[in-house]
């Protein structure tokens, strides 16, 4: 007599599906690489040579394009809230592929700036945003752990992007490399959304995990939407807690981007070769990985009250270490601490938003935060360059700029009575 294997229980199926969603969202976030600084960097020399531009002109186009694209991210967040992550990701993926095709056609400074606006808005901004919201919506329990894994694996995937793009450029040229990247996005990001995100709700208002609404059940809190107790974007932006998250994550984005953008020059002043300086991105990935996993676990077990402040302590330490770089172990420690700062703050910020403000309007709130982060990252290299020029050396510039995370640290220590309790 044969017996039919028992079907998995509904809770077991839901548990399996959410980890599948985590994997798909991580892959989608990793595919933002062609729109990230780490991916664009391998094309800079080609732009300078083939378009007869200076590095300053390329940098200016990048700044203008990044800031222009960032301005639209709050609108993308509203679309996620209204239409759901599945449809939004399909549209973003298709448009991102077209924007990459456009990059293969650029022939001047203005077109390059427009191209940068497209890939930064759709890749670094929109696709990262929808992927993060997908994970936050699918997990309520163990959300911190899930976001820690998400941030860690995403960083690892993006670290492969410049290597792969460099190989393609060497083989078939930089214009065709953009076309290859466009094809990869069209053949992965859109199918992931269409076939893989079918279990996701059509909008964040209908988000369900384990049969329960994806908000924390706080009803009629002062200053929140009466229907669910969740904050809408306007309500969230009127809290000190949102601006604390924005200050911490924006400071990290601005200064981490600045340090990475000028890493070769910074290391060169310390007597470190260009090859060795480039290799020091690996310790950053290790530091980011460890910090993301640790912070995600602590978020689930202990809460997040002082984790943003801890991220600022790490950033201050990175600046102080960077001000005294020399050949030897200190550069490894510096790189790991800088990477740990990014991993810790990204995980903490992504966990705090749904925990403090709910998920009903998560896309809109996350979109506003992403706007500030992208804008801050755009001005970071300029801020460091100007400070270094004024003080004639990187060491005093890094010490001076450490005042910014110190101020954010102090700001993060004061509680806000308007937010829901997560501590």
Q: Give me the pLDDT at residue 299, please.
A: 65
Confidence tier at 213 by pLDDT (50, 70, 90): very low
Q: What integer is the mean pLDDT of 360-367?
A: 84
Q: What is the pLDDT of residues 52-81, one digit of tens each?
A: 888 778 878 888 888 888 888 888 888 888
Distance CA 66, CA 68 (A): 5
- Asked if CATH classification 3.30.420.40 holds for the domain at 18-203, the reply, yes or no, is no
Query: In the chain, what are the domain boundaries?
Result: 18-203, 227-414
Q: What percent of the chain has pLDDT over 90?
A: 24
Q: Give me the pLDDT at residue 420, please.
A: 53
Q: What is the pLDDT of residues 276-316, one digit of tens each?
A: 766 676 788 788 778 877 776 776 665 666 788 888 999 99
> Per-residue pLDDT for 204 more than 60?
no
- DSSP letter at 203? S
The structure tokens listed for 113 are 């700036």
Tell whether pTM > 0.85: no
User: 10 Å Cβ neighbour count for 13?
Assistant: 12
What average pLDDT is seen over the chain? 81
**Burial of 94: CB neighbours in 10 Å, binned 0-12, 13-18, 19+:** middle
Do the first three CATH levels of 18-203 and 227-414 match, i.e. the same topology?
Answer: yes
Q: Give me the pLDDT at residue 15, please.
A: 57
Backbone angles phi, psi at 225, to 5 degrees: -65, 130
Q: What is the pLDDT of residues 128-143, one digit of tens each?
A: 889 988 888 888 777 7
Q: Give me the pLDDT at residue 110, please.
A: 93
Q: Is 212 helix (H, G, I), strand (E, B) or coil?
A: strand
The structure tokens listed for 270 are 């310390």
Q: Give me the pLDDT at residue 175, please.
A: 94
329-357 and 128-138 helices, crossing angle to 10°: 60
The CATH code of the domain at 227-414 is: 1.20.1250.20
Q: Give me the pLDDT at residue 2, please.
A: 47
Between 151 and 127, where is the model more confident? 127
């Amino acid at each position: 007599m044969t017996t039919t294997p028992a079907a998995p229980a509904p809770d077991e199926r839901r548990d399996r599906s959410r980890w599948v969603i985590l994997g798909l969202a991580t892959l989608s976030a990793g595919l933002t690489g062609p729109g990230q600084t780490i991916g664009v960097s391998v094309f800079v020399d080609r732009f300078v040579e083939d378009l007869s531009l200076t590095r300053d002109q390329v940098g200016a186009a990048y700044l203008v394009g990044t800031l222009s694209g960032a301005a639209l991210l709050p609108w993308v967040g509203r679309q996620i809230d209204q239409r759901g992550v599945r449809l939004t990701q399909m549209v973003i993926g298709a448009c991102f592929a077209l924007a990459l095709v456009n990059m293969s056609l650029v022939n001047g400074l203005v077109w390059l700036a427009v191209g940068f606006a497209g890939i930064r808005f759709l890749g670094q901004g929109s696709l990262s945003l929808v992927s993060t919201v997908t994970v936050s919506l699918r997990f309520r329990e163990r959300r911190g752990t899930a976001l820690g894994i998400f941030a860690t694996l995403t960083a690892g995937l993006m670290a492969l992007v410049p290597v792969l793009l460099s190989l393609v450029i060497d083989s078939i040229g930089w214009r065709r490399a953009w076309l290859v990247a466009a094809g990869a996005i069209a053949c992965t990001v859109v199918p992931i959304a269409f076939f893989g995100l079918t279990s996701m709700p059509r909008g964040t208002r209908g988000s369900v995990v384990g049969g329960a609404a994806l908000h924390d059940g706080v009803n009629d809190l002062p200053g929140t939407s009466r229907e669910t107790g969740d904050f809408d974007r306007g309500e969230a932006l009127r809290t000190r807690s949102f601006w604390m998250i924005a200050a911490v994550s924006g400071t990290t984005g601005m200064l981490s981007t600045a340090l990475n953008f000028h890493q070769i020059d910074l290391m060169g002043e310390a007597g470190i070769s260009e090859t060795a300086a480039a290799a020091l991105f690996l310790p950053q990935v290790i530091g980011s990985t460890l910090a993301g996993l640790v912070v995600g676990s602590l978020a689930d077990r202990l809460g997040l009250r002082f984790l943003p402040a801890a991220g600022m302590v790490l950033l201050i330490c990175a600046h102080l270490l960077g001000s005294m770089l020399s050949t030897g172990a200190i550069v490894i420690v510096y790189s790991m601490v800088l990477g740990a700062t990014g991993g810790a703050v990204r995980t903490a910020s992504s966990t705090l938003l749904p925990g403090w403000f709910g998920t009903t309007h998560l896309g809109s709130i996350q979109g506003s935060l992403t706007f500030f982060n992208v804008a801050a990252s755009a001005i970071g290299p300029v801020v460091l360059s100007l400070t270094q020029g004024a003080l004639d050396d990187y060491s005093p510039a890094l010490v001076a700029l450490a005042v910014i995370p110190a101020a954010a640290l102090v700001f993060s220590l004061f509680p806000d009575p308007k937010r829901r309790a997560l501590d």
